[in-house]
């Protein structure tokens, strides 16, 4: 299938139109026209090779909402015309203990990422994966999700990363009514963590360095804003949280936040991939507190999250852009100048040449 997308040719080049071919449908494949693609901070990191494993040409995009246009002969779950979605992974071994438990994100052999990865579980010759900044996508049925009725397609795309990345630890640590949850950072991930924790019935504290985000935090569903640069406020909040979701996507100091946890509390890192300022073990030992990490969720949990959002009306706050505005959007993303997630209207991308 001939298609078109936007790709980075190197770590220093801007994204530009890129013609390429999607694979022919295998029996268990679903082909879709991409309608909307979310812009994740990971897309910027990958385009710039900040993590050191980017493969070029690189077509970003792992927050994908589309419409089925064709299915393979063995596909049972999806039909032409269905509204569907694809997130951060498009394959896994399907056979290890983690895959059998529905934890494909923790596949022992490594899941296949939606872009900047290799289609290594195929019986065909291996090939690179290209993401959702494109007109079409092909993925195996097991990794294509159903978009529930009532979920706004134009806003749903960021749920496939920002949504599940924050929903998964909330569910893993059993958040519900009576839980006390803190959220560090109010960007794309953080605003979803606040919305989802509130929808699950938790008491939610948004944590920010400045007070100017208080109105936004309350509007998102937080019960209060805690200013982390205020020593008195931080001291008063000590031991007041069961779970803290840390969404900051760059190296930072987590030490000020550890005393906020109650005994047996957990700080879960979902934003930064890489080094942190060295943590002190004192609050960990004295309060039996924990530092943990969490990636995305598995396919079943991602479907659960989509259904939950449709039921509760939880959606990200988005700014719609055209495909040709992506480089300007990346520049704004570096400055945290977005409230709270860019979504690309893929109708703005020209159809591929015949």
Residues 173 and 206 in one domain: yes
Has residue 354 got a pLDDT over 70?
no
What is the pLDDT, as a whole number, of residue 350? 80
Q: How does strand 83-86 pair with strand 261-269? A: unpaired
Number of H helices, E strands in the chain: 10, 17
What is the pLDDT, as a whole number, of residue 351? 67
Residue 197 lies in a domain: yes
What is the pLDDT, as a whole number, of residue 330? 97
Q: What is the pLDDT of residues 259-308, one digit of tens each?
A: 999 999 999 999 998 999 999 999 999 999 999 999 999 999 999 999 99
Q: Left if phi > 0, otherwise alpha if psi is -120 to 50, otherwise beta: which for 289?
A: beta
Structure-block tokens of residue 28? 């268990």
Residues 19 and 135 in one domain: yes
Residues 332 and 321 in one domain: yes
Per-residue pLDDT, averaged over 110-132, amounts to 89
Q: Which of 85, 60, 72 is nearest to 29 (CA)?
A: 72
pTM (two decimals): 0.94
What is the pLDDT, as a whole number, of residue 47? 97
**In angstroms, what CA-CA distances link 81 with 33, 130, 135, 158?**
10, 23, 16, 21
Residues 157 and 25 in one domain: yes
How many structural domains compose the chain? 2
Has residue 162 got a pLDDT over 60?
yes
Per-residue pLDDT, averaged over 241-269, amounts to 97
Structure-block tokens of residue 244? 């803290």
What is the C-alpha to C-alpha distance for residues 38 and 32, in angstroms, rounded to an integer? 16
Question: Which residue has better confidence, 122 or 133?
Answer: 133
What is the pLDDT, as a whole number, of residue 353? 59
Q: What is the CATH number of the domain that holds 173?
A: 3.40.50.720
Please check whether residue 200 is in contact with residue 175, taking contact to mean a CB–CB distance below 8 angstroms: yes
Residue 353 lies in a domain: no
Residue 308 lies in a domain: no
Q: Which of 46, 60, 59 is nearest to 18 (CA)?
A: 59
Q: What is the pLDDT of residues 45-95, one digit of tens each?
A: 999 999 999 999 999 999 999 999 999 999 999 999 999 999 999 999 999
**Between the CA atoms of 259, 161, 143 and 50, what dihedral angle is there, to the nearest 10 degrees?**
-90
Residues 121 and 187 in one domain: no
Strand stretches in 219-351, DSSP E: 224-227, 241-246, 261-269, 290-293, 318-321, 341-345
Residues 116 and 139 in one domain: yes
Residue 222 lies in a domain: yes
Residues 177 and 282 in one domain: yes
Please give the full DSSP string across 294-305, using - where no structure is assigned: -----HHHHHHH
Q: How does strand 145-146 pair with strand 64-71? A: unpaired
What is the C-alpha to C-alpha distance for residues 299 and 316, in angstroms, rounded to an integer? 20
What is the pLDDT, as a whole number, of residue 121? 83
Residue 142 lies in a domain: yes
Residues 30 and 88 in one domain: yes
Per-residue pLDDT, averaged over 183-194, amounts to 96
What is the pLDDT, as a whole number, of residue 178? 96
Residues 110 and 142 in one domain: yes
Residues 154 and 121 in one domain: yes
Residues 153 and 167 in one domain: no
Has residue 352 got a pLDDT over 90?
no
Residue 304 lies in a domain: no
Residue 279 lies in a domain: yes
Per-residue pLDDT, averaged over 5-32, amounts to 96
Has residue 123 got a pLDDT over 90?
no
Q: What is the CATH number of the domain that holds 343?
A: 3.90.180.10
Averaged confidence pLDDT in the chain: 95
What is the C-alpha to C-alpha distance for residues 166 and 6, in angstroms, rounded to an integer? 28
Q: What percent of the chain has pLDDT over 90?
A: 93
Q: Which of 225, 185, 219 is nearest to 204 (CA)?
A: 225
Residue 132 lies in a domain: yes
Domain stops at, among 252, 278, 293? 293
What is the C-alpha to C-alpha distance for residues 118 and 227, in angstroms, rounded to an integer? 43
Of how many residues is the chain composed? 354
Residues 270 and 218 in one domain: yes
Has residue 124 got a pLDDT over 90?
no
**Angle, nearest 10°, between helix axes 188-199 and 162-172?**
40
Burial class (CB in 10 A: 0-12, 13-18, 19+), 309: buried
Q: What is the pLDDT of residues 293-351, one digit of tens each?
A: 999 999 999 999 999 999 999 999 999 999 999 999 999 999 989 989 999 999 999 86
H/E stretch holding 250 = none
Domain that holds residue 103: 2-161+316-348
What is the C-alpha to C-alpha distance for residues 40 and 79, in angstroms, rounded to an integer? 28
């Amino acid at each position: 299938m001939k298609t078109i997308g936007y790709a980075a040719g190197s770590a220093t080049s801007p994204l530009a139109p890129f013609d390429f071919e999607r694979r022919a449908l295998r029996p268990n494949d679903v082909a879709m026209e991409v309608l909307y693609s979310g812009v994740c901070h990971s897309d910027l990191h990958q385009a710039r090779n900040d993590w050191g494993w980017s493969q070029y040409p690189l077509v970003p995009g792992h927050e994908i909402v589309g419409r089925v246009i064709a299915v393979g002969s063995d596909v049972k779950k999806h039909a032409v015309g269905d509204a569907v979605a694809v997130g951060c992974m498009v394959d896994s071994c399907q056979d290890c203990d983690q895959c059998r438990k529905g934890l494909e994100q923790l596949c022992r052999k490594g899941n296949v990422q939606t872009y900047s990865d290799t289609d290594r579980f195929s019986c065909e010759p291996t090939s690179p994966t290209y993401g959702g900044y494109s007109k079409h996508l092909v993925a195996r049925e097991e990794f294509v999700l159903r978009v529930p009725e009532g979920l706004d397609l134009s806003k749903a795309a960021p749920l496939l990363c920002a949504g599940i990345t924050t929903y998964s630890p909330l569910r893993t640590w059993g958040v519900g009514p009576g839980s006390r949850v803190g959220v560090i950072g109010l960007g794309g991930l953080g605003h979803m963590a606040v919305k989802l924790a509130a929808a699950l019935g938790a008491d939610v504290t948004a944590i920010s360095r400045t007070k100017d985000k208080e109105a936004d935090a309350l509007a998102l569903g937080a019960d209060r804003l805690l200013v982390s640069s205020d020593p008195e406020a931080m001291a008063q909040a000590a031991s007041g949280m069961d779970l803290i979701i840390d969404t900051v996507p760059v190296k930072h100091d987590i030490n000020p936040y550890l005393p906020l946890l109650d005994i047996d509390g957990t700080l879960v890192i979902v934003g930064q991939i890489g080094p942190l300022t060295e943590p002190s073990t004192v609050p960990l030992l004295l309060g039996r507190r924990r530092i943990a990490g969490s990636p995305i969720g598995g396919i079943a949990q991602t479907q659960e999250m989509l259904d939950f959002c449709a039921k509760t009306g939880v959606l990200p706050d988005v700014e719609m852009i055209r495909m040709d505005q992506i480089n300007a959007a990346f520049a704004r993303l570096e400055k945290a100048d977005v409230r709270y997630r860019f979504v690309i209207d893929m109708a703005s991308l020209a159809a591929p040449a015949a």
